[in-house]
Amino acid sequence: AQSVTQLGSHVSVSEGALVLLRCNYSSSVPPYLFWYVQYPNQGLQLLLKYTTGATLVKGINGFEAEFKKSETSFHLTKPSAHMSDAAEYFCAVRGAPSGGYNKLIFGAGTRLAVHP
């Protein structure tokens, strides 16, 4: 079965500090992995995704993530936090196909706070 664990429901960093949001997954099929960001009362916006190929994936707004198969991890990083990065972040993994359909399985989310 597929599952996603996001370590830390709340993360707080100073402006300019490194952002590290952790995501571990389990998957019975080759994983497709995703990070989405959600601002208050808005939908989810895709930050980046890993499907195949290069394991270091770059996304929007200066974020990147590295797929590590041996650690079953897909942690999200940004070298220098900005106040506008304050939001909730969701990691997701593709589920096993069923009837030709691949569902997305989401983690519980990590709320990132950025303080001056």
Tell me which residues touch another protein (CB under 8 A): 9, 32, 34, 36, 41-46, 49, 51, 90, 94, 97, 99-104, 106-109
Beta 87-94 vs 110-115: how paired, if at all?
A: antiparallel
- Closest CB to another protein among 14 and 51? 51
| Nearest to 18, CA basis, from 62, 81, 63, 74 | 81
| CB nearer to another protein: pick between 46 and 83 | 46
CB atoms within 10 A of CB 4: 22
Find out whether 94 and 3 touch, Cβ atoms under 8 Å: no
Give least dist CB 48 to another protein, A: 11
* Percentage helix, strand, coil for the chain under 3-state DSSP, each rounded to 5: 10, 55, 35
Q: How far is the CB of 38 from another protein (least distance, A)?
A: 9
Shortest reach from residue 36's CB to another protein, in Å: 8
Least spacing, CB of residue 74 vs another protein, in Å: 15
Cβ closest to another protein, residue 14 vs residue 42: 42
Q: Compute the distance between CA of residue 44 and CA of residue 107 in angstroms, rounded to an integer.
A: 13
